[in-house]
Structure 1
């Protein structure tokens, strides 16, 4: 199984276009920019699936050699998209894929019903909308099997209220050829039930790295918005939990511009190293 990190920042990226906070200013000065969270996975190196489609998708695809068309004039190795939520920073890139001949798009019922691109992209491309349910495996081209699990009931600001709870999910992806396991959970409001069992035999676990500290927004910006109020479990809360589940490689993605880990010399990196974790590499390729 191959995993290509296309982007590793939270909404707005790093630096954010309208922000002069310490983190954004330093990123501009030192050239440590990060694009918005998105990755691609393949079981055979030929058929690829995107997990989320960030607003930065075009630039991200151009920086990923594996995703370059190689057969015919307009034949892409991208077979489909798996959404973890309907948040704009996870879905706006779907507009970029409007020129695809055909595309399979997976998501829970409320997510597929809410995303803005759903009302538009079908006029440009043949889209196969596939509703998924947590706990029910589904097969993907290239010998992959994916299973969604519930992470949060937090709906996007623009979405209408309803009874649905499966607004934010994660994925467990298994490769048939090598039994490698990827777990992708870029947005965790809480540690999901049975999450320890979901990740115990995984080769790579990609976790929510939005905030390092629960009160990070107050520390960095003066805004009294705890991580929990924004639907994110801070890294300082998950480090003790993964310490007890040895075996997988843990990497954090979806870093906010306030997160000190966005900068390579932050002392907080030592805390990750101590439990066998790291920060997802921007535009990095991992062979499992």
Structure 2
């Protein structure tokens, strides 16, 4: 299985367009690496690629990843796996609208929230929309087997009445049938649960929500599990040293954006990675 991290920043990218904080200013000056919003791509055969979320910058992200280039007008992108209904994970669907036959997987409440957008997109080119939580999982072209697992999370702000449903946010377990390699992709996690711990324990690699380094960074508490602290995700990850561990979805408040920071040194000591946009690895 090949995995490409197309984007690794939180919503708005880095630097964020409307922010003049010290880190964003340093990124504009070229002193810190820039990042686009979180998105990834996976394949089991290097021909059929599947996107994990679709960021607003998906066109630029696909352009930067030569493995996903079309030729001459045929795209290797077969579809999308959505982890939730947040706008920054959905906006790229509009960019992909001219590709017929794409298959998009999402949990039932996300599919329901997308109903108006689905009608509009299908008028451009017919797509297939599928329940990611189907019992027993599903098989993707290219030899990948996927199961989606609900993790604790709130519905997106645009949902009327803020419907209560425990399936708004999911983590994906993706297994390569040929090699047995297992990826867990969980870019949005608010609470470390026993289910998530079991998924990570049995994986070869986890790409995990690293939005905030410390709890105090978040404007709204509880949406993202912080990296540091006694109940932070790093404490949980240290229980699984045999697993390759990578943080993604980094907010502009996060010191992990600075390769020279003490926070990054702490990650290196713990054996946990913060990779750049475009990073690729094989499982």
Counterparts of 2:194 and 2:211 in 1: how far apart (Å)? 21
Alignment check: 8 A CA contact 1:210 1:259 kept: yes
Deviation at 1:31, TM superposition (A): 5.1
Which residue does 1:175 correspond to in 2? Answer: 176
Which residue does 1:25 correspond to in 2? Answer: 25
Counterparts of 2:168 and 2:109 in 1: how far apart (Å)? 6
Of 262, 272, 278, the match for 1:277: 272
1:70-123: CA deviation from partner (whole Å, max 9, x where unpaired): 3xx421110010000110000000000011021000001111121363232111
Q: 1:2 to 1:171 in 2, by over 3 A?
A: same
Counterparts of 2:193 and 2:19 in 1: how far apart (Å)? 33
Deviation at 1:142, TM superposition (A): 0.4
Deviation at 1:193, TM superposition (A): 2.7
Deviation at 1:162, TM superposition (A): 2.5
Which residue does 2:224 correspond to in 1? Answer: 232
Q: Does 1:99 align with 2:98?
A: yes
Which residue does 2:250 correspond to in 1? Answer: 255
Deviation at 1:40, TM superposition (A): 0.1
Alignment check: 8 A CA contact 2:107 2:131 kept: yes
1:109-142: CA deviation from partner (whole Å, max 9, x where unpaired): 1111213632321111110000121763111000
Q: Taking structure 2 as the reference length, what is the TM-score of the superposition?
A: 0.94
Equivalent positions of 1:29-178 (< 5 A) are 29=29, 30=31, 32-70=33-71, 73-115=72-114, 117-133=117-133, 136-160=136-160, 161-178=162-179
Which residue does 1:221 correspond to in 2? Answer: none
Alignment check: 8 A CA contact 1:55 1:89 kept: yes
Q: Secondary structure at the match of 2:148?
A: strand
Q: Secondary structure at the match of 2:171?
A: strand
Q: Which runs of 4+ in 1 moved over 3 A?
A: none
Alignment check: 8 A CA contact 1:86 1:111 kept: yes
Counterparts of 2:220 and 2:126 in 1: how far apart (Å)? 42
1:187-213: CA deviation from partner (whole Å, max 9, x where unpaired): 101012322221113111001110000
